Chain A
Amino acid sequence: MEVDREDGRSQNQLRPLACSRNILHRAHGSASWSQGDTKVLAAVYGPKAGTKKNENPEKACIEVIWKPKTGQIGKPEKEYEMILKRTLESICILTVNPNTTTSIIVQVVNDDGALLPSAINAACMALVDAGIPMKHLAVAICCCVAKSGYVILDPTKLEEQKMKAFAYLVFPNSVRSVLPEGSLRVEGEPIENGIITSVTHGIMSVADYFYCLERGRAASVKLSDFLRRNLQQQSTDSSKAG
């Protein structure tokens, strides 16, 4: 079903992606991610000594600080911090550096829809730039369901507001490995079929949700390819001191 989106994209078309690593000098790892007009900056410091009070000292701890563009930090920012923290905890290998804290600071430079997925992608790139050990990368996408039932990907802020419901979905990235295929499966399914995080807003039927998942997964393959190309191109810097 042909759907007219305002900027002329098709249903499943993502906005132009741009990403750069290692843009800040003091931070151990940094990345900037932009999808269309939404732009997010992420910086990583870590691992630092000690964990917070309520955290398990036998594992590494991840701390997320979300900075909005202007204004005070309120409940929505705290929610984003929590979602990011849980997502990143599931992809980082926490047993390598016990009793340490890795801080991730996310700064919103411009918000034009799909903010949380952009932030997750940026944070993931920043972690790679900092050299924090991870099991696999996380690829995040936003899917909207309209009143008439069609699903569009990567909405702008206006589209997000007009839609009946939208979902932020985070998938593991596609795996390219030299190991035999069987060993990478989790309970008989390939890793890419899993889902790390899902946050929905608004009402959608179960069928719609599964349709979103399908579309999202297809798009996440494209995003994984983009990430892989981007990470391979940029040459790694020498280690930062201080």
Chain B
Amino acid sequence: MDARLANTWRLTLNEKNFIKTALLSEIRIDGRKPFEFRNISINFGREDGSAEVQLGQTRVMGIVTAKFVQPYRDRPNEGTLTIYPEFSPMADPSFEAGRSGESAVELGRIIDRGLRESRAVDTESLCIVAGKLVWAIRIDILILDNGGDLVDAANIAALAALMTFRTPECSLGGEDGQEVIIHPPEMRDPLPLILHHLPIAITFGFFIDENVVVIDPIHNEEAVMAGRMIATVNANGDICAIQKAGEGVSQRVIMQCLQLAITKAADITKQIKAAVEAYNSERALQKIKRETTCVGNSVKGDQNQTLDNKGISELVGKYMERLKLISVESYASQNINAEEIKSLRRGTDSNCIKFNSTPLSWDPYSKGVDLECLKASVASQGLSTASEEKEASGQEKGSEAESACPYEDVNSKWSAVDASTTEMHVIGPKTLKDAVKPKNKRKKKVSSMI
């Protein structure tokens, strides 16, 4: 008990008086003006859905993950969104490991109200099979460094992570149309979440004299302030949530703060969008690079399994891991071999094939054939036997589409097209139509020859 008292961080009386007196003359101890926000920098991690935000000295990381669950009974066609704030003991000497204190719970609730209850995240698009299978999005908020104003930084981190998170595309298929097929990222681009608006939280601190209001308090100011208001607003001027605690403040001051919050929210929204844009364009570039040098790996049949209600979450958990591993694998593997492509067609069951290819030719069709194999193996319960007959039919489909051209010709045709186009497109022809390739591609081919 004594040890804990000795270890708590406390401001001295002198420091407290200094802060208050300076604020009466509109001077803040870090040199900002009362209504000035600190610099925000947003960085993204290696995987989709992880963002780190630095607001002055405050540092927060947001991580978004998703898994399959059964929906709540009263909302059968909506996915779920849960927020897990974690006040890591590295952020502040007074944060303890284990159960988080009330401020952590409060932070979680404020962000939850802003994101979920204001319908910023579209939960209906997270539904896969109504009443049976929906995506459950989990947002982990890790506070790494407490420099004050954790709610604002955590909110921005959560938004940035949500905007860059991608769920794998799922479709219904199989014999009775009830089985869910998860498409790995090489076959189909994973989908971003739908966000209707961006709720931004702005924190105001009130000091003894009610005319003294500051925005974005640092931790020293937070220890001195008498009252606090957190307004979650969006750039459209909607107020999503308000949380006020501490000393009473007049209505006029509250209205002024809300007006100010809306202006600041517009700025911050612009910053977040710019950062996400930059990340997305970089990701697209990397994807082009990655796919010109390697083609999907031969995934074992059991990984694209049809799901039933039992054991969904663990299967998907494993699968999500495998997805990540596959994308890492494909990023790392370098070359494609013509012979290996043929062995792929036969559906050889090796876990990781190394390919050797000529760097410039990009071969969507070898992927196409692969997917035919996979789709066949996915759709049927018996994995090995059915795949071979369907693979034969898959090859037939491919050749039919190209009006009985042999496989190699198709390849050369398409590599010619690709050499002339720089557009990035989704890989994974699935039906006959897709195998023929979209019309815009054909037009481009014609125009390039003219």
Within 8 A of A (CB), among B289-341: 325, 328-329, 332-334
CA distance A112 to B47 in the complex (A): 11
B267 in contact (CB, < 8 A): no
How many residues in B have their beta carbons less than 8 Å from beta carbons of A?
Answer: 40
Residue of A30, A37, A70 touching B65 (CB-CB under 8 A): A70
The residue of chain A having its C-beta at the shortest distance from the C-beta of B142 within the complex is A107
Count of chain A residues with a beta carbon within 8 Å of a chain B beta carbon: 30
Pair B329/A158 contact, Cβ less than 8 Å:
yes
Residue in A49, A50, A70 whose beta carbon sits within 8 Å of that of B140 in the complex: A70
Please determine whether B328 and A65 come into contact, CB atoms closer than 8 angstroms.
no
Q: Is A35 an interface residue (CB 8 A)?
A: no
**Beta-carbon nearest neighbor of A106 in chain B:** B90
A6-B333, A70-B65, A70-B140 as given contacts; A65 in contact with B97, CB under 8 Å: yes
- CB-defined contacts of B57 to chain A, threshold 8 Å: 25-26
Q: Which of A4, A30, A109, A110 has the most CB of B within 10 A?
A: A109
- Given A48-B7, A49-B3, A65-B89: A24 and B63 within 8 A (CB)? no
CB proximity of B295 to chain A, nearest CB, Å: 15
Contact with B45, one of A48, A67, A110 (Cβ below 8 angstroms)? A110
User: Closest A-chain residue to B93, C-beta based?
Assistant: A45
B residues 143-177 touching A (CB-CB < 8 Å): 144-147
Separation of A70 and B97 alpha carbons in the complex (Å): 15
A174 at the interface (CB under 8 A from B): no
A86, CB-defined interface residue at 8 Å = no
Q: Is the CB of B91 within 8 A of A4?
A: no
CB <8 Å contact, A24 and B145: yes
In order of increasing CB-CB distance, the 7 nearest A-B pairs are A50-B3, A43-B90, A105-B90, A6-B332, A25-B57, A49-B6, A24-B145
Question: With an 8 A cutoff between CB atoms, is A185 at the interface?
Answer: no
Between A6, A26, A103, A109, the greatest number of chain B beta carbons within 10 A of the residue's beta carbon is seen for: A26
Considering the complex, which residues of chain A in the window 7-33 have a beta carbon less than 8 Å from any beta carbon of chain B?
A: 7-8, 24-27, 30
Is A173's beta carbon under 8 Å from chain B? no
Instruction: Tell me whether B112 is interfacial, beta carbon within 8 Å.
Output: no
B92 at the interface (CB under 8 A from A): yes
B59 at the interface (CB under 8 A from A): yes
**Contact yes or no, A24 B329, CB < 8 A:** no
CB distance A4 to B90 under 8 Å? no
Task: Find out whether the CB atom of A158 lies under 8 angstroms from the CB atom of B88.
Answer: no
**B3 and A24 within 8 A (CB):** no
Q: Which of B50, B59, B354 contacts A24 (CB 8 A)?
A: B59
Hey, what's the 0/1 contact readout for B65-108 against A, CB within 8 Å counting as 1?
10000000000000000001010111111000100000000000
Judging by beta carbons under 8 Å apart, are A6 and B145 in contact? no
Q: Which residues of B contact A (CB under 8 A)?
A: 2-4, 6-7, 9, 45-47, 50, 57, 59, 61, 63, 65, 84, 86, 88-93, 97, 138, 140, 142, 144-147, 219, 325, 328-329, 332-334, 352, 354
A78 within 8 A of B: no
Q: Does A242 count as interface, using CB distance less than 8 angstroms? A: yes
Would you call the interface of chain B mostly helix, strand, loop, or mixed? mixed
| Inter-chain contacts of B59 with A (CB < 8 A) | 24
Given that A41-B144, A158-B325 are known contacts, is A70 also in contact with B354, CB under 8 Å in the complex? no
Judging by beta carbons under 8 Å apart, are A107 and B144 in contact?
A: yes
Contact, CB under 8 Å: A70 / B138: yes
A118 at the interface (CB under 8 A from B): no
Q: A24-B144, A70-B138, A156-B328 are in contact. Are A107 and B90 (CB under 8 A)?
A: yes
Check A110/B47 contact, CB under 8 A, given A70-B65, A70-B140: yes
Output the least CB separation between A24 and chain B (Å).
4
Known contacts A6-B329, A157-B328: A26-B145 contact under CB 8 Å: yes
Contact assessment for B147 and A26 in the assembled complex, using a CB-CB cutoff below 8 Å: yes
A-B contact pairs, 16 of them (CB 8 A): A6-B352, A24-B91, A24-B144, A26-B57, A26-B219, A37-B328, A41-B144, A45-B93, A48-B3, A48-B6, A49-B2, A50-B2, A50-B4, A109-B45, A156-B332, A157-B325
Measured CB to CB, the nearest residue on chain A to B3 is A50
CB pair B142–A67 under 8 Å, yes or no, is yes
For B333, the chain A residues whose CB sits under 8 A away are 6
Of B46, B325, B352, B354, which one neighbours A110 at CB under 8 angstroms?
Answer: B46
> Which residues of chain A come closer than 8 Å to B140, judged between CB atoms?
69-70
Nearest CB of A to B98, in Å: 9
Q: Which residues of B contact A70 (CB under 8 A)?
A: 63, 65, 84, 138, 140
Cβ–Cβ contact A26 & B329, under 8 A: no
A24 to B93, CA, bound (A): 12
Rounded to whole angstroms, the CA-CA distance of A30 and B2 in the bound complex is 27
Chain B residue with Cβ nearest A51: B3
Kindly list chain A residues whose C-beta atoms are within 8 Å of the C-beta of B219. 26
Give the chain A neighbours of B7 by CB distance below 8 A.
Answer: 48-50
Contact pattern, A 62-100, Cβ under 8 Å of B = 1, otherwise 0: 000101011000000000000000000000000000000
- B142 proximity list for chain A (CB < 8 A): 67, 107
Cβ contact within 8 Å between B88 and A26: no
- Contact of B328 with A26 in the complex, beta carbons under 8 Å: no
Q: Which residue of B lies closest to A112 (CB)?
A: B328
Taking A6-B333, A48-B6 as given, write out 16 further A-B residue pairs in contact, using a Cβ cutoff of 8 Å, ordered by the A residue number: A6-B329, A24-B59, A26-B57, A27-B90, A27-B145, A48-B7, A48-B93, A50-B2, A50-B3, A50-B7, A67-B90, A67-B142, A110-B45, A156-B328, A158-B329, A242-B9
